Amino acid sequence: KVPVAVLISGRGSNMGALIAASLEKNYPAKIVLVISDKPDAKGLEHARDFGIEAVAIPRSDYDSKPDHEAAVSAAIAASGAQIIALAGYMRLLSGEFVQRYSGRMINIHPSLLPAFPGLATHSRALSAGCRVHGCTVHFVTEAMDEGPIIEQEAVRVAHDDTPDTLSQRVLEAEHRIYPKALAMLARGDVRMSRDGRALFKDSIT
């Protein structure tokens, strides 16, 4: 199984979905490390409940962003992780960090990209009158939420949806597509080309 590090900042429900999938016998990846930039992230305890090493690396412990990212990189290197999965990691990564893991770092985002990059995606989708919303797993590149798309799932918007009710259904879809996308990357069924496109094996739908 390909070793994976998961970066979180909070609840860690997507991390939990990746861990649950990775415990299945034929799943091609295993979670070897969880890192949070927030010491009180609920996801840290959740990971430890599964016996997975989970560490807090708070930004406030470091003088600069490069120093913080160096500490995160060192922890990743020590774990042997080959793939990085961002799961609600709410920190903008430097170009240097992104380059280091180019083609090996993926993110889950709560909208059908390229619509609604950034924050507050559910309320923005509702304000825009979208009848369809959803979620995206993509390779991480320097431009935030613009990396090549690996997997998406659409969620229909109900007339009486609130940001809360909509986000719950989108989250369920996130928990389906993130393990699927990670498995595709770990199996080599998708990769990022030099010119920044997602290349899929022919048979993948």
Which residues are annotated as part of the binding site?
12-14, 59, 90-93, 107
Catalytic residue among 109, 122, 133, 138: 109
Site for ligand GAR (CB under 6 A): which residue of 36, 83, 84, 88? 88
Only one of the segments 3-11, 24-32, 59-67, 73-81 lies at the binding site for ligand GAR (rule: CB under 6 A); that segment is 3-11
Helix (H) or strand (E) holding 3: strand 2-8
> Which residues in 103-122 contact ligand GAR (CB under 6 A)?
108-110
> Which residues in 149-178 contact ligand GAR (CB under 6 A)?
171, 174
Nearest CA to 35 among 57, 19, 10? 57
Closest CB 203 distance from ligand GAR, rounded Å: 28
Distance between CA 191 and CA 203 in Å, rounded?
14
Closest CB 180 distance from ligand GAR, rounded Å: 15
Only one of the segments 6-14, 47-55, 57-65, 157-165 lies at the binding site for ligand GAR (rule: CB under 6 A); that segment is 6-14
By CB under 6 A, residue 87 contacts ligand GAR: yes
Question: Residues 159, 181: contact at Cβ < 8 Å?
Answer: no
For β-strands 105-109 and 2-8, DSSP reports them as: unpaired
The rounded Cα 204 to chain-centroid distance in angstroms is 21
Burial of 164 (0-12, 13-18, 19+ CB in 10 A): exposed
Question: Residues 86, 106: contact at Cβ < 8 Å?
Answer: yes
For β-strands 54-56 and 29-36, DSSP reports them as: parallel
By CB under 6 A, residue 179 contacts ligand GAR: no
By CB under 6 A, residue 11 contacts ligand GAR: yes
138 is catalytic: no
Residues forming the site for ligand GAR (CB under 6 A): 8, 10-14, 87-88, 108-110, 171, 174
List residues with catalytic annotation: 109
